[in-house]
Structure 1
């Protein structure tokens, strides 16, 4: 059997007060039993209670009272079948029938079970109210007693949350109350200064409450997304912030000149090279130094702005102002793109034993300090 939900019908039995048998006073126990069993077979629970629906199909709608005594909330009231049967027989709503031997109960066959579809859900929502302000240690029976002063309430759902420490579902202090009719719900909402044990109650239509929560969620999500983007932007800026005054441009090299040749020419001058942006056969290249404002110092050591590399007099000059800013911004953009591609690759190949060209990449290509594509790094 599936675990029983802790929601019940509040039925004050006012519909047929003109009947002769309603002169008999009901005890609190009998009222509680009637309320609970009528909830089980009522319009709200029965259409969605899979276990009870299966029981109803077995014997022309009849369900043994012994089966119902296994349900938690009824069992708390009583497990005595005779007491339960006698109480149900005093109900004045006409919803339930008790068998001649007082061993079984069923929903009145003349009362069709409503189909739970979208139209039905909307109709239920139209007469459901949200109420907040109940003490978090309040019991369902306490709240049911409070609602007896109002017109007929079909159902009360205590809203709960999972406490991470105790692993228990605790009461939030708010409920959804479904009234018998929309007019009764409107009357409740029109009641001024509602209180529970001197505490003010906040009441809204369920639809209005849900819309309000959706709007609050959207605002929180926007703030969270904005904060995440700002953090991501800051991380990118911090990760790829490059020192200025560090870029040397060179050209007029020979066709077979390599990055290693350029490095060997600059190292004796004390150049701490972070990266050489150059490929064999290209007409120009860039050297990015590691230390802030170190390009000027190296530039002063290059006689007439030229260094002999192989058979060529390679011309060097310092990138300054806007020219350097443009180059560094482009470099940062390429580095960020490379980082993103690497993360995406790792995500797509997570858990895979990937081998091939990726595992044979040059060591210097695996540094975040080098831009992607055709440009290769020299981190030595």
Structure 2
């Protein structure tokens, strides 16, 4: 038998927490694959190599490439087994090759009902939010058992903007409804999970129906925008100061290489961004949209954009940092997004005029943008 290569303390904590989650009341009743593996086993124990081959565990353990249970190194399995033996919620076989719950799982439907009663849905959250940041935020209001960052119903690559936070006690969940919470500069709407589930099911039904309709794929709720400053001679200039010609190319002379790339990034923690969403924290969650000084009257702020586009419908979130020349707007519904795009496209100036800038909109399409926003 191969000797176990010990995991460092940080990796041990991450691995232990991940495997405890896999077998927890929060996850196991809903995880059809793992639950079947448990039910089909003789004693409720499943292959630890199988667990190590799961995507989140591969990431935690640094396993790269096409990892299958039979290709997970034995020394890695044994090292993980040593860590899992610390847990009172898990039991590990004597040979260290199998793992399972320490206690028998109650009827799945009953467990799901109990978990849902102590779970809240919180939105809107940035699309690149880290599961750990959501967990730390809500830990101020009670013991958090788990955080989920569900994917968008129409694009599984993207976090939907709503986190599901499960507390250890139902009273802790109820207490959150009484507080006015702000995350990353946005007022949070806290709802019971059952309301979120009902809304999500309706959206899933509408999406499935739209796929079979002549209209095809439904328009999204998110639009991307670009800002070009209007120079004194009427030409459009990017927010970094470079003049833009009719083809959208910046003058080479004196070019400042202003960024056109969103600062967003997403990882599924989901909360793997989403644990996952899933996750680097976006710079635009900073509270940098303060009132402009006398010298900054032409600088556009996040609140300026939100106020301007509210006339088309409810704006759920504006992802933008002061001084940048691009960002994203998420509306409550796709109709508002379509109205905004149509209005700016038909404007005589070629876009919406805001504080000495021309703002243009475009739909969020393709891998490069939809990975970050949906």
Q: Which range, TM-score by smaller chain?
A: 0.3 to 0.5
TM-score (normalizing by structure 2) = 0.42
Structure having the higher helix fraction is 1
Which is higher, the Rg of structure 1 or of structure 2? 1
Larger relative CO (CA 8 A, sep 6+): 1 or 2? Answer: 2
